[in-house]
A and B are shown apart, each in its own frame.
Chain A
Amino acid sequence: MAEPEMRKKFLVVMSTGANEPKKAFTPFYYAAAAASMDFDTTMFFLAEAPSLLRPGVAETIRTTTDGEPLTKVIDLGRMNGVKFLCCSVSAKVIWNIEDDGLPEGMEFAGAATLLEMAVDPEVAVLYF
């Protein structure tokens, strides 16, 4: 019997936000790791997660008082080639993020985009 093929892509879905700073770093770090291992990697922010993308917020999120800010791991993911998508309904309705209000390189997307990615058999989904 042939060996099953490894999945080639990661979809990291993040639903926690600025109200839980200790949970903020891990999804970005795992996405950066997957991308650095040559997996095509996308992060999708929904529910509370877009709160981290509001202007000036990521700079203030730290796990310890002398720790590095969340921007460090966001930049790490960006540097490694992670793609960032943000639920437009969560962002605009709950968090009042304007059309041009996402950080550089991040885009709005809808539920259909997330669901289509999640049913792709090449994609492994990590949910945080």
Chain B
Amino acid sequence: MADYRGFRIPEDLRYDLGYHVWLRVEGELVAIGATDPAQAYAGEIIHIGIKKAGTRLERGAILATVESAKFMGPMRSPIKGTVEEVNQEVAKNPSLVNGDAYAHWVARLRPENLEADLALLKMGAEAATEYKAIIDEWGIEGGKA
């Protein structure tokens, strides 16, 4: 587990550093969530609107909309696929993502083009290295929602 200025980047996950999401392959599905630095940048999340189950998304399409007191932005899908499951716990209590971004996936998708999409993502160690510059640029500190 890489740690930088209080932020965790677990090495067993894959990351899209343009969309600031993590991805975990779970059998035929993939779980997707926000990264630890991304939740800190947003601040305490007060609302998350997640696309409904059955919604088909291209890679880069909006999977969810995240709102905090000082931020409003899209969470984009790092893969092409269909939303199979929405994490209702997160939908009802989105600040759970602030508490532990990696324990709270936002949605599970059934991928259509997984091998090609995974090739575009970074593995944990590489992502951790690249996130250092992003964390510095954003001027954020871990442990603050």
Interface residues of A (CB under 8 A from B): 29, 32-33, 35-38, 68, 72, 76, 79-80
Q: Contact between A32 and B70 (Cβ–Cβ < 8 Å)?
A: no
A36–B76 CA distance with the chains assembled, in angstroms:
10
Residues of chain A lying within 8 A (CB to CB) of residue B67: 33
Interface footprint category on B: 10 to 19
A33–B72 CA distance with the chains assembled, in angstroms:
5
Q: Give 3 closest A-B pairs by Cβ, nearest first.
A: A33-B72, A36-B74, A38-B62
Interface residues of B (CB under 8 A from A): 49, 61-62, 65-67, 70-74
Further 11 A-B residue pairs, CB within 8 A, beyond A37-B65, A37-B74: A33-B67, A36-B66, A37-B62, A38-B61, A38-B65, A38-B74, A68-B70, A76-B71, A80-B72, A80-B73, A80-B74
Q: Contact between A36 and B62 (Cβ–Cβ < 8 Å)?
A: yes
Q: Contact between A36 and B70 (Cβ–Cβ < 8 Å)?
A: no
A37–B62 CA distance with the chains assembled, in angstroms:
7
CB distance from B47 to the nearest CB of A (A): 10
Residues of chain B lying within 8 A (CB to CB) of residue A72: 70
CB distance from B124 to the nearest CB of A (A): 25
Compute the total of residue contacts between A and B using a CB distance below 8 Å.
30
Residues of chain B lying within 8 A (CB to CB) of residue A29: 72
Query: Interface majority SS on A: helix, strand, loop or mixed?
Result: helix
A70–B72 CA distance with the chains assembled, in angstroms:
15
CB distance from B107 to the nearest CB of A (A): 15
A35–B62 CA distance with the chains assembled, in angstroms:
10
A36–B74 CA distance with the chains assembled, in angstroms:
5
Residues of chain A lying within 8 A (CB to CB) of residue B65: 33, 36-38
- Please give me the residue from chain B that is nearest to A30 by CB atom: B72
Partner of A76, one of B49, B61, B62, B72: B72
Residues of chain B lying within 8 A (CB to CB) of residue A35: 74
Q: Contact between A76 and B74 (Cβ–Cβ < 8 Å)?
A: no
Q: Contact between A32 and B73 (Cβ–Cβ < 8 Å)?
A: yes
A35–B76 CA distance with the chains assembled, in angstroms:
12
A87–B66 CA distance with the chains assembled, in angstroms:
31
- Most chain A beta carbons < 10 A, residue from B49, B65, B72, B74: B72
CB distance from A9 to the nearest CB of B (A): 15
CB distance from A36 to the nearest CB of B (A): 4
A36–B75 CA distance with the chains assembled, in angstroms:
8
A36–B67 CA distance with the chains assembled, in angstroms:
9
Partner of A32, one of B49, B61, B72: B72
